[in-house]
Amino acid sequence: MNFVLEGAGVFIYPLGLCSFIAVFIIIERLIALRDSKVLPRGITEEIIAGILPDDENPHASSIGRILYFYRKKNPDPEALKAFAQLEMTRLERGMYLLDVVIQAAPLLGLLGTVAGLVTVFATESALPTPETIARGVGLALSTTILGLSIAIPSILGNSFLNRKIDKLCARINICVERLIDTRAEDRKH
């Protein structure tokens, strides 16, 4: 593994940055997208049952902020849906950076491959020396390995997080629809 890191040359810095960003975003989103931070079970179950729960800390979760907005602003259904959409957008915070890493890491690896091959064949003499060939091929292979080994786990993390966000958004939509139904039922009585 040490050979791969040493052989990557100057490309180790942008590839290292890509790796750091991917790990940071994946860990941060895993922590931020916990059910207790988005849709605490007790609050969600009460909303679905048609009960408006008392939340001591309404700003601690996404559904808490939606419920707070519902109570304080008395919005029409479209305004409530728009506010809920804003909360759902917050769940995707930073995901675009993970998309950038997924696209940039293999391209940086490919750029390193091309740079390594240019090193091999851009000699002033007729034939490159064995040392030049070894250095160029080492750069080419090292950057390719690093680029792919950053992109593949990032793709897996991105897929998992996007699926989790989709599930949370669906549950938020159910709660919002139930809040709208609850208000309509209260107006009938």
Q: Which pLDDT tens digit goes with each residue over 93-116?
A: 999 999 999 999 999 999 988 888
| Cβ atoms < 10 Å from Cβ of 90 | 12
pTM, rounded to two decimals: 0.84
Say what percent of the chain tops pLDDT 70.
90
Produce one character per residue of 13-48: b if its CB has 16 or more CB atoms within 10 Å, e if not. ebbeebbebbeebbeebeeebeeeebbbeebbebbe
- The whole-angstrom separation of Cα 123 and Cα 115 is 13
What ranges do the domains of the chain cover?
7-188
The band of 184, judged by pLDDT with boundaries at 50, 70 and 90, is confident
pLDDT in tens, 27-58: 999 999 999 899 998 888 898 888 888 767 77
Return the residue matching tokens 């922590």: 31
